[in-house]
Structure 1
């Protein structure tokens, strides 16, 4: 009897502990202003409401603006850039460019295709700020004169964060159209033009919606306006490099 009671106590303690661990792994994010704010429960107490939730390395917020994720990424990128400048001494700009591309760009570019940011927005400028500072400091260290940010990028043989993000979004749209990546019900949002002179022009089927397609389609159509045939992936990427400015 003593052993049985002891076992029951241990079992109850283990069960309560496992429930607590399960609750720690759950959080509730309410999306949209019209959300009914229902409470959700698992086993016992309600799941706690969070202002942001991390999923696959991305911080999601109720307004889906990604400001918290971008600010966190920029903070980490600035720290990494500072560590690079403190750890390495060189007069070779190509060396600093290699370090930035290897250790900082992956932080700023992770899942960046979902950030439909206007170039003049504060978040877009924030994403660019790390490279602005890094390029200025590295060229000053290398004793190389420069006249502007775009000139610094050219000297370092690197493209701006805005350029790289826009190019990644256009390449993703190309993959959707070519069938290389899946987007559910794509034909409900866009379709290719039937004009033989502009075979890559896209028509937006939901003009009143505000989403990825509403942002990227005007840029896409401006770039492919004079294209007379559907381009291969390598041809399309080459077109983007010539059509999008370095900054």
Structure 2
């Protein structure tokens, strides 16, 4: 070890926060999801206490600018795969959409439709597809061969050079 640091001075950490994302040794991100859900719920509560009147036109920009960024920041890194984490994140949006008095009794899907908002799971999937597109078309500075196994294309048959057979990191 360099510069006078001994092995005894190093501490093992249960988690690490980097660029606002909490990493744990298992890479499940449940602690991160809990933290961002709590923060987003606090902001929903603040909006609820601040505004006596809430309609669709007021809700949409408030939610999109104050709440949703907390739920989506760097989600391509920590995208949840455990059902409990997916539910925790979506629960924030469920609660927020009930702030409009005329929407409280409507089912969640109907509230989203009326507000012209997608589910957060859909937004994560869409973001993943956009990222794949950028990688496949060379927009991101990443080699697609490190992430995808490309399919051999027979020029005489149908197909194109962006077909892949499977994900290498499964």
TM range (shorter): 0.7 to 0.9
Q: Which residue in the other structure is 1:158 paired with?
A: 117
Q: Which residue in the other structure is 2:33 paired with?
A: 70
Larger relative contact order, structure 1 or 2 (CA cutoff 8 Å, min sep 6): 2
Q: How does 1:11-160 map to 2 (within 5 A)?
A: 43-44=4-5, 46-118=9-81, 121-136=83-98, 138-139=99-100, 141=101, 143-144=102-103, 147-160=106-119
- Give the TM-score, by structure 2 length: 0.84
4+ long deviations beyond 6 Å: none
Measure how far apart 1:122 and its partner are. 1.0
Contact 1:193 1:203 in 2 (8 A): no
Measure how far apart 1:89 and its partner are. 2.3
- Rounded Cα–Cα distance in structure 2 between residues aligned with 1:99 and 1:131: 12
Any unmatched runs of 5+ in structure 2?
none
- Would the alpha carbon gap of residues 192 and 158 (structure 1) be closer, same or farther in structure 2, given more than 3 Å must change? farther
- Give the TM-score, by structure 1 length: 0.60
Any unmatched runs of 5+ in structure 1?
1-39, 211-247
- Rounded Cα–Cα distance in structure 1 between residues aligned with 2:132 and 2:12: 34
Q: How does 1:172-191 map to 2 (within 5 A)?
A: 172-184=131-143, 186-190=144-148, 191=150
- Would the alpha carbon gap of residues 72 and 193 (structure 1) be closer, same or farther in structure 2, given more than 3 Å must change? farther
Q: How many residues of Structure 1 are paired with residues of Structure 2 in the alignment?
A: 164
Measure how far apart 1:42 and its partner are. 5.5
- Rounded Cα–Cα distance in structure 2 between residues aligned with 1:154 and 1:193: 42
Task: Tell which structure's C-alpha radius of gyration is larger.
Answer: 1
Contact 2:56 2:115 in 1 (8 A): yes
Measure how far apart 1:153 and its partner are. 0.4
Contact 1:112 1:165 in 2 (8 A): yes
